[in-house]
Amino acid sequence: MMTFRNRIILLVAFLGAVVTSGWLAYSHLSSTPIRCTGDVEWTIGKNRFVGTVSWRMQHREGTAIINGKLFGHTVSEVNRTIYFHYSYHQNARVLNNDRIVKTFADAADEADINVTLPGFYRTPGRELSLMIDEYRGAWLFAASNVPSLYCRKNTP
């Protein structure tokens, strides 16, 4: 016959196993947060954008903050936040742009923006498919298997 002390020890061991299993399942199944910043330079025709893109992603939603200089008809500042949600398709993330918020510093000419920036960063409702993998302590973003951004991890 088990004593009261043995029952308590067995109950504590069982609860410890349940809590540990739950934590391991949650950490394995929950998405790894992505917080990083990368330098970008896009040149389309005579227009050029030079700046940074900061990404934050977790739990199928995220933000991309883009800021820098746009060299088009005139030189102007771009500073905007793109809010999006994403889904997984095979080993890629498909980002769907929900909303773009421009700051007061974003004074770029719309014609220059439309020619230079990818659609995801300028028009709500656009889609962007990315493969995102960890590489040497940073995140490597690739579109169509072509690396497009080396994103340095931000510390929380």
The CATH number for 68's domain is 2.40.128
Residues 117 and 72 in one domain: yes
Residues 76 and 54 in one domain: yes
Residues 53 and 26 in one domain: no
Residues 131 and 62 in one domain: yes
How many domains is the chain partitioned into structurally?
2
CA distance 142 to 116: 19
**Domain that includes residue 21, residue range:** 1-30
Q: Lowest mean pLDDT: which of 17-21, 24-28, 55-59, 88-92?
A: 24-28
CA distance 97 to 86: 9
Provide the β-strand partners of residue 57: 34, 62
Residues 85 and 143 in one domain: yes
The predicted-structure confidence for 98-155, as pLDDT tens digits, reads as follows: 999 999 999 888 888 888 888 899 889 999 999 999 888 899 999 877 788 899 998 7
What is the distance, to the nearest Å, from the Cα of residue 112 to the centroid of all Cα atoms in its chain? 25
Question: Phi/psi of residue 114, each to 5°?
Answer: -65, -30
Contacts 24+ apart (CB under 8 A), 145-154: 149/38, 149/40, 149/53, 150/38, 151/34, 151/36, 151/37, 151/38, 151/53, 151/55, 152/36, 152/37, 152/38, 153/35, 153/36, 154/35, 154/36, 154/37, 154/54
Residues 1 and 57 in one domain: no
At 26, the pLDDT band (50, 70, 90 cuts) reads: low
